[in-house]
Structure 1
Amino acid sequence: MPGPGASGFLRRPWVRGALIALVIVLLIVAPLVLPQFANQTLIRIGVYAVAVLGLNIVMGYGGQVNLGQIFFLGLGAYVTAYGVMNDWNIVLTFAAACLIPAAVGLAVALAAARLGGLAIAMVTIALPIVGVPLAKRLSDLTGGSQGVSARFSDAPEWTGLYDDQWQFYIVLLIAGVSFLLARNFVRGKFGRALAIVKANESVASSMGISPYRYKVLTFTVASLFGGVSGFLYMVAVQYTSPETLSFGHSISLLAAMVIGGAGSMIGSLIGGAYYVFVPQATAAIDPNLTTIIQGVILLVVLFVLPGGLVSLPRRIRSLARRRGPRGAGPNTPQTASEASPGQGSTPEGPEHTERQGQA
C-alpha cells in the first residue's frame, strides 16, 4: 500500500535530515526575496511561537494550568527596553530578559505548586491583572501608560541588509535555538519524568520522582521562554506598554496553544501563526464580532480535532483507513472471503467445486 510505504520512507534518517536542511535553507533565503510585510509577519509568528512554546511546556507537557504567560512576555519586553535605554550590552540585556522572568516564575511556582492546580491557576490569573496597573504606576521604569520605545535591532551597515531582514535573522536564530532546547528538554530524562508526573502524581512519588520539584522547574522553564519571547517582541516591535500584559492577550495565547496542539513542538508553531493571522482575519470580517468568531473557531477545533490542528494529518489517515474496506477491490481479503466456497457467495460456487472434483 502506498500510504505506509510513503510514511516509512519519510521516517528514514537521511530523508528527514534532507527535509530539515531544505527547510533551513528556505528560511535563510526567504527574507531576501520576500517583501517587507511578509518578513514582518513571519517575525511576529516566530515571536508568538516561542511564547506558545513556553505555555505548551507547562500545560501541554506538564499538565499544569498557566493563565498568565503573557505577563512573562511583557516582563521580558520591559527588561529589554530598560537595558537598551541604559546602554547595557545586548548580550547582558538578553540574559536579563530571560533570567528575571524565570526568577519571578520560580517565586510564583514555589508559593503555589504545593497548593494544587487551582491555586496555580488563580495565581497566574492574578499576574496580568496586577501587572497592568503596576506597569502604569512604575512610570520611571516603564514609561507609564504611554509605554516605552527601544530601538536596538536596526541592521548594521556592514551587513547590507534591511532592518526587517536583520530582525528576521535574529528571531530565526533565537527561536530556532529555543525550539531545539525545548525539544531536548521534553524528550530527555526530565521530560520522561515529567510525563509520569502529569499522568499520575502518586505513581511518580512511588518511583522517587518529586511532583513538586518537577512542577516548579517546569513553570520556571516556561517563564524563561516567556522572557525570551519578550526580548524577541522588542526586536520586532521596539515598543511596549501596559497593554502588552493584558489578560485578554494571555487568553489568546492559551487558545493558540490549544488550537495548534497541546504537547507538540509543531503545534506551537501553528499556534504562533494562529495568534498572528486569525485576529487580523476576524477583524477584517467584522471588528465587533472578533471575539465571537475566535470563540467559535476554538469550539469547532476542540470538537472536530481535540488534539489541535497538528493532529489533522493523523485524523485524515484514520478516516482513510476506516473507509478503505468499503471501496475495496476483488483482490481484498474481504471480497475473497465472500467468494470462498464455505460462504456460498454465488449459486454456482458449490457446483463448480463438484465438477472440479469429478475431473
Structure 2
Amino acid sequence: MSTLTSLWRNRWVRVALVVVVVVLLVAAPLSLPLFANQTLVRIGVYAVAVLGLNLVMGYAGQVNLGQIFFVGLGAYVTAFGVTHGWNVVLVFVAACLLPGVAGLLVALAAARLGGLAIAMVTIALPIVGVPLAKRLSDVTGGSQGMSARFSGAPDWSGLYDDQWQYYILLVVTAAAFLLARNLVRGKFGRALAVVRRNEAVAASVGVSPYRYKVLAFTLASVFGGASGFLYLVAVQYTSPETMSFGHSIELVAAMVVGGAGSVPGSLIGGAYYVFVPQFTNSLDPNLTAIGQGVILLVVLFVLPGGLVSLPRVIRRLVRRRSPQAASPWPEETERQAQA
C-alpha cells in the first residue's frame, strides 16, 4: 500500500495515468458496441446533473430537491432551438443560460430560507413544471412532448450516430467536471466549505452566506441545463415526465450514493442512476423502488461518505491490520513517530 502511495505522489506517474485514461476514453466508442456507447452517454448525462446537485448540496450544504426541473428546462430549450433552426452552439448556450437565469431568480428568493422552507420551494419546481409543460403546448408540445433530431453523425466524420453522440457528451462532460474541480479547489470552494460548516463564522470573516448560496444554486442550475442538452443529444425527445419529481429524488439518491461533496463521486452517481434501475428491473420490475431503497440504505450504513470513499476505507482497514501499525514495542513506536 505504501508503494502505491509513493507512486501516486510522483507527478509523472499521475500525468501518465491521465494520458492513459484520456486515450481510453477517446478510443472506447470506436470498439464498443452500440448498447455500450449508449449506456456511457446516459451515464454522462446524469453525471453532469448530479455534479450540479453536488455543488449546491454536497459543497454548499443547501437543500435542492428540484434539480430535475432545470434538466427538463434545458431539454425543452434544446428541443425548441433545434426545431426552430438555431445553431447548435447557440442552442447549447441557451440550454445552459436560461436554466441558470431561472435558478438565479429562485435562489434570490429562496437562499435566505433554510431547512424545511427551502426544501419546499425546490420541491415545488418539478411539481409546477410538469403541468406547466403540458399546458404550454404551443411551445413544449404538451403531453406529447417534443422530438429534436440533431445529433446524427455528419458524413465527413465517418462515425456512427452513437459514436458521434459519445464524443459530444465527452467534450461537454469533461468541460463540466474540469470547471467544477477548479471551482471547488479554489476560493469559491473554500468559501462554500466555511458557509456549510457555520454561516455565522463565514459572515464574521467576510464571506457572505447569501451570496455564495445564490452562486452555488445558480451554478447547479447551469449544470442542470447542460445535462438537459446532453439528454436531447442522447434521447432526441423530451416530455413533461422528464422533469417529474420522482426523477429529482433519484438524482439526490445518486449524489448520496456516489459521494456528497465529491466531484468524482458525481460520476459514480451517474453510473448508479443508470445501472441500478436496470439491475432491479431485471430482478423484479414490481420491486424496483424497494430494491433501490435497500441499496441506498446499505450504502448509507456501510459507506456514509458514498462509494467514492471506498478506497479510503480500505486503506484505513489495511493500516489497522498492518503489523507495523500495532507494534508491541514502545521504543519502535517512538522511533516511527520521530521519523
TM-score normalised over the length of structure 2: 0.95
User: For residue 252 of structure 1, what is the aligned residue in structure 2?
Assistant: 250
1:89 aligns with 2:87: yes
User: For residue 38 of structure 2, what is the aligned residue in structure 1?
Assistant: 40
In the TM superposition, what are the counterparts of 1:1-359 in structure 2 within 5 Å? Answer: 3-325=1-323, 333-334=327-328
Cα distance per residue 1:214-259 (max 9 Å; x no partner): 0001000000000000000000000000110000000000000000
Shift of 1:119: 2.0
User: For residue 337 of structure 2, what is the aligned residue in structure 1?
Assistant: none
Cα distance per residue 1:86-133 (max 9 Å; x no partner): 001111111110000000000000001112232221111000011100
Q: Secondary structure at the match of 1:64?
A: coil
Cα distance per residue 1:11-39 (max 9 Å; x no partner): 22111111111000001000000001100
Counterpart residue type for residue 207 of structure 2: I
Counterpart residue type for residue 61 of structure 1: Y
Counterpart residue type for residue 223 of structure 1: S
- 8 Å contact kept, 1:267–1:310: yes
Shift of 1:269: 0.5
Rounded Cα–Cα distance in structure 2 between residues aligned with 1:219 and 1:335: 54
Counterpart residue type for residue 334 of structure 1: P
Q: Secondary structure at the match of 1:243?
A: helix
Rounded Cα–Cα distance in structure 1 between residues aligned with 2:293 and 2:226: 28
Q: Secondary structure at the match of 2:112?
A: helix
Q: Secondary structure at the match of 1:10?
A: helix
Rounded Cα–Cα distance in structure 2 between residues aligned with 1:233 and 1:292: 26
Shift of 1:5: 2.5
Shift of 1:77: 0.1
Rounded Cα–Cα distance in structure 2 between residues aligned with 1:37 and 1:6: 35
- 8 Å contact kept, 1:270–1:310: yes
Range with greater deviation from structure 2 (232-241 or 108-117): 108-117
Cα distance per residue 1:155-192 (max 9 Å; x no partner): 00000000000000000000000000011111111111
- 8 Å contact kept, 1:259–1:302: yes
Rounded Cα–Cα distance in structure 2 between residues aligned with 1:335 and 1:182: 47
Rounded Cα–Cα distance in structure 2 between residues aligned with 1:17 and 1:231: 31
- 8 Å contact kept, 1:109–1:120: no
Rounded Cα–Cα distance in structure 2 between residues aligned with 1:335 and 1:266: 41
Shift of 1:333: 3.7
Rounded Cα–Cα distance in structure 2 between residues aligned with 1:191 and 1:162: 40
Rounded Cα–Cα distance in structure 1 between residues aligned with 2:163 and 2:224: 23
Unaligned runs of 5+ in 2: 333-339
Rounded Cα–Cα distance in structure 2 between residues aligned with 1:225 and 1:117: 23
Could you tell me the percent identity over the aligned residues?
A: 74
Shift of 1:336: 8.8
Counterpart residue type for residue 17 of structure 1: V
User: Number of residues paired by the alignment?
Assistant: 332
Rounded Cα–Cα distance in structure 1 between residues aligned with 2:139 and 2:81: 11
Rounded Cα–Cα distance in structure 1 between residues aligned with 2:137 and 2:207: 44
Q: Secondary structure at the match of 1:152?
A: coil
Cα RMSD over matched residues? 1.5
Shift of 1:265: 1.2
Rounded Cα–Cα distance in structure 1 between residues aligned with 2:214 and 2:118: 11
Shift of 1:324: 2.3
Rounded Cα–Cα distance in structure 1 between residues aligned with 2:114 and 2:41: 37
Counterpart residue type for residue 46 of structure 1: G
TM-score normalised over the length of structure 1: 0.90
Q: Secondary structure at the match of 1:334?
A: coil
